[in-house]
Amino acid sequence: MTDPDVAATDHPNAVYLSGTPDDGYEATVALTAGGGYVADIIAIANLPADYDYNQIVTWQGLCDSVALHAATMPACLPGSAETDKAARNAFVMYGDIRKELKKEETNALSFVLQRLVARIDITNEAYAAGTILDNAATGPENSFFLTSARLLHAQPTAFVVPKPDMTPEVVTTSDWAPITGIGTEILYGKPTTKDIATDPTQEPEAVSVTTADDAKAATLQYAWHTLYTYPNSDTEHAPTALEIKGTFRGTEITRQIPFVDKEGNAFPVEGNHRYLVRIVKAPGQTDIAFNIAVSEWDAVDTVNVKPDQTEVPEIANIDGNGTPNLISDVAKAYDVYYTQDGKITFEATCPFAPGVRVKYYDSHTDSWTTKGDWLKVEQVGNTEIVTKADHSYRNSFQVTFNKFDGGVTRKAMLLVHNGGSEVECDTILVRHVVTYPGTDLEAVEYKGQFWAPVNVGGSTDLTTVDKITEDTADDAVLGYLYQWGRNVPFYCATSPATVKYTKVADYPIYTEACSNTGTYQNKLILSAGFIDYTWHKDYRPTAAAGISPELSISDDAWPRKNQPCPVGWRVPTPVDWDGVVAEINENKEYQKNGKWVSKQNDKFVLPAVGKISGIDATSKDRGKNCYYWTSDLKESGRSTAFYVTDYFASTTSALDGNVYAYPIRCIQEQLPTL
């Protein structure tokens, strides 16, 4: 349409726009409703040609409409043959005015259009002259060479009509491609010689660089007019941030720069604003720091912020085959028996991508040193961006080490440190022990087998304990108690939480309860009171639910994955206990002073822990009787237990049923090869 009169006749109430970008535009409209009222008039520019205008036929539709979802950083080039985006980015723009329209008069209007996008510029002032990609790892020691930048939690869409403090409720994206072009997107530069009146933004001047000698004329790197995002008002769950990568002091580093104010509070990203990120050397030149300037598109008003380089990483989800060390001063300490290969995995989260250093204990000098190689640390997978207001990185690590021939316990410290400062760290102690895992006590040799010196959960040398009574409540002496087949500890000093059912059909299946989640998590499952006294309904072949596929009628029926014994150790079988019963009955030396002590090896001590009732969860017979589980399961659905009282000893089917909680004394799976 080229004739405004025809446009007014054929398209009443439509706007006819004429003019050029350089000279400005004139809008003509024929109003069928006449004038004499105050109108809200808006102008929207640069919508893409395929935009669906049907959604804005009403005022409410216009207010609620959004721009097209941006699969890549927002930029469009309607009505132009220009394809060089660096030369011309025609972003969607919006302007409005409220004006009284008078009848039979020409109503002059003037709009100030604003871009819907925000722009993020980067100036790297931690760069040192002469640094290029080829020598970044070996060039000036304190030069930071920027190689990549990308937006995190960028908002991929926006309201065409901006709404104060509100953006569309869509999932933010961290998938837009980073800028990586050295010399094209990330330029070499130097401070501008123009004054502020001539150039309010003070954009650096480009320096053409091909060789390291060319780069001697550059004093900074900068990436301007390359990163854009739509406004983002979500400062709680997914505030926008910037990720940069580069080489510093010979090491590839990654930093996440949150958009926060000087108090550390995340601020929203606003349209038509420019965010200037200045990268500078941190005090002491041991790292880089940042400040962010927030401004209108063509002005600068600096707000200085700095990420926290002192935050200690948060360690979580520690797993593997290590046994928690119960006597260590280090909160996170794990033991693996020396006959076994070790594996420990964990996650670490920090504003700077966390790393791990290793120090080994030198028993000759009683000191920690970096000299050692028996432990291997690997990062598993890629660094994960944590979606929360403080913008953190999460790394997953795997630690492995091989079994050895014995001798002296090996110890290593995993220093899980802040990526911005190796001083700020949390510690995991790893011990490859010749002692019983979790203690500094040697295994007890008895009749050709090695037994644990304490019950599972115990750590006290039982040869130092004079007497155990019904009032003894020290878990380090007594250890923990377990329902047969479950790896869920219960304690003598505290009454357990419970869950109870009135009929067998309501019981959980074995695998469900062993997952220790939901209804059964850390709870003693009480018996409904029927004759077999079990805690799961698939407990024997003749049960209505049959027997769990994870169980078998055998001497070693307790599944290894559900045993509380350390790797390399197991729950004893009835045959293992038979030798103990034989000694007791032969010598007529039963429980005394709340414990049984072997005549053949006085380091083999069994405390009379008693039991926890599977009927009412009360503690019974402490200081009187020894009850210990075996690993077998019989056709009846019951398991064998070892008993010793003050007048007899036996291995027989547990009279209480598998629903009661008994202690466990582990036995070594095999003799170590020395």
pLDDT reported for residue 1? 47
Least confident of 130-139, 153-162, 508-517: 153-162
Least confident of 386-400, 579-593, 631-645: 386-400
pLDDT reported for residue 674? 35
Using an 8 Å Cβ cutoff, are 186 and 223 in contact? yes
Least confident of 61-70, 440-449, 558-567: 61-70
80 vs 26, 92, 595, CA distance in Å?
19, 14, 92
Q: How confident is the model at residue 611 (pLDDT cuts 50, 70, 90)?
A: very high
More confident residue, 243 or 296: 243
For residue 166, pLDDT over 90 is answered with no
State how beta strands 498-500 and 524-526 pair: parallel
> Comparing C-alpha atoms, which of 418, 389, 387 is closest to residue 253?
418
More confident residue, 619 or 114: 619
pLDDT reported for residue 94? 79
More confident residue, 187 or 202: 187
Token duo for residue 317: 């989800």
pLDDT reported for residue 352? 74
- The three-state secondary structure class of 314 is strand
pLDDT reported for residue 148? 94
> Percentage of the chain with pLDDT > 90?
45
pLDDT reported for residue 330? 78
φ, ψ of residue 580 in degrees (nearest 5): -70, -45
- The amino acid sitting at 520 is Y
188 vs 353, 368, 602, CA distance in Å?
27, 44, 77
Per-residue model confidence as pLDDT tens digits over 543-600: 999 999 999 999 999 999 999 999 999 999 999 999 999 999 999 999 999 999 999 9
Token duo for residue 183: 């010399």
Instruction: Quote the pTM value.
Output: 0.55
pLDDT reported for residue 78? 39
pLDDT reported for residue 410? 93
pLDDT reported for residue 37? 66
Average pLDDT of the segment spanning 364-385: 87
Average pLDDT of the segment spanning 249-270: 77
CA within 13 Å, CB half, 294: 13
pLDDT reported for residue 168? 76
Residue whose structure tokens are 């304990």: 465
Q: How confident is the model at residue 79 (pLDDT cuts 50, 70, 90)?
A: very low
Whether the CA torsion 162, 164, 170, 174 is positive or negative: it is positive
For residue 481, pLDDT over 90 is answered with yes
Per-residue model confidence as pLDDT tens digits over 318-337: 999 999 987 777 789 999 99
Token duo for residue 643: 């008993």
- CA 662 from chain center: how many Å? 37
pLDDT reported for residue 57? 62
pLDDT reported for residue 421? 65
Using an 8 Å Cβ cutoff, are 66 and 158 in contact? yes
> Comparing C-alpha atoms, which of 467, 637, 662, 646 is closest to residue 572?
662
CA distance 528 to 516: 20
Q: How confident is the model at residue 85 (pLDDT cuts 50, 70, 90)?
A: very low
Least confident of 123-127, 285-289, 408-412, 579-583: 285-289
671 vs 405, 551, 605, 667, CA distance in Å?
12, 26, 20, 10
44 vs 17, 82, 117, 530, CA distance in Å?
12, 20, 13, 77
For residue 267, pLDDT over 70 is answered with yes
Per-residue model confidence as pLDDT tens digits over 502-548: 787 888 999 999 999 888 899 999 987 665 688 999 999 999 999 99
- Strand intervals (E) in 109-219: 114-115, 118-124, 144-152, 187-190, 205-206
Sequence-separated (6 or more) residues with CB below 8 Å from residue 67: 47, 51, 74, 92, 116, 157, 158, 159, 160, 230
Q: How confident is the model at residue 56 (pLDDT cuts 50, 70, 90)?
A: low
